């Protein structure tokens, strides 16, 4: 057998299974890298061809729904206005989600404690125990 990578002649192992087409582990790694590079290059060319084909094609604006002709591969909106609108909409959605996430965030025990203990109740407890509000707060670490 001739190694695909270094061209050296080698004796393939007589094991069962897939026969290696390279002589050594190093050459095996080199071969895999080569195949990966080839794959990547093919994928890159395909995606380039795809975007190239999109120029001049009809495309529906996701913002206003108008159909327009693409002038460049990355064009997604019919106009700059729609692009801006989309951007501000995305920002709005993001900020709403952000607030929702924070509103639903689990509360710390301290927060819950403060919520279920109204101020008037604390004052009542202070009187009960003969403490000032300051002393009470200190004692219970409120």
The interface region with Zn ion, picked from 43-51, 77-85, 95-103, 119-127 by CB under 5 A, is 77-85
Contacts of 4 by beta carbon, 8 Å cutoff, 6+ apart: 21, 22, 27, 31
The interface region with Zn ion, picked from 25-33, 89-97, 98-106, 129-137 by CB under 5 A, is 25-33
The interface region with Zn ion, picked from 21-29, 33-41, 47-55, 114-122 by CB under 5 A, is 21-29
Q: Shortest distance, CB of residue 60 to Zn ion, whole angstroms? A: 9
Q: DSSP label at 2?
A: B
- The Cα–Cα gap between 109 and 125 comes to 20
**Strand pairing partners for 73?**
none
Phi, psi of 24 (to 5 degrees): -145, 175
Q: DSSP label at 17?
A: S
Count Cβ atoms below 10 Å from residue 50 Cβ, excluding itself: 10
Report the residue from 78, 108, 135, 137 that binds Zn ion according to the rule CB under 5 A: 78
Q: Shortest distance, CB of residue 5 to Zn ion, whole angstroms? A: 5
Report the residue from 64, 73, 122, 131 that binds Zn ion according to the rule CB under 5 A: 64
Taking CB under 5 A as the rule, does residue 136 contact Zn ion? no
Which residues bind to Zn ion, rule: CB under 5 A? 3, 5-6, 22-23, 27, 61, 63-64, 66, 78, 82
């Amino acid at each position: 057998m001739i190694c695909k990578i270094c061209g050296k002649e080698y004796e393939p192992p007589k094991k069962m299974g897939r026969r290696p087409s390279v002589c050594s582990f190093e050459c095996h790694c080199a071969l895999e890298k080569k195949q990966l590079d080839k794959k990547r290059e093919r994928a890159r060319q395909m995606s380039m061809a795809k975007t190239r084909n999109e120029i001049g094609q009809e495309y529906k604006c996701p913002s206003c729904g108008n159909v327009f002709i693409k002038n460049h591969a990355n064009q997604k909106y019919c106009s700059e206005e729609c692009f801006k609108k989309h951007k501000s909409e995305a920002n709005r959605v993001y900020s709403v989600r952000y607030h929702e996430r924070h509103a639903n965030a689990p509360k710390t025990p301290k927060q819950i404690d403060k919520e279920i203990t109204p101020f008037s109740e604390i004052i009542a407890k202070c009187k009960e125990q003969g403490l000032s509000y300051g002393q009470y707060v200190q004692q219970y670490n409120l």
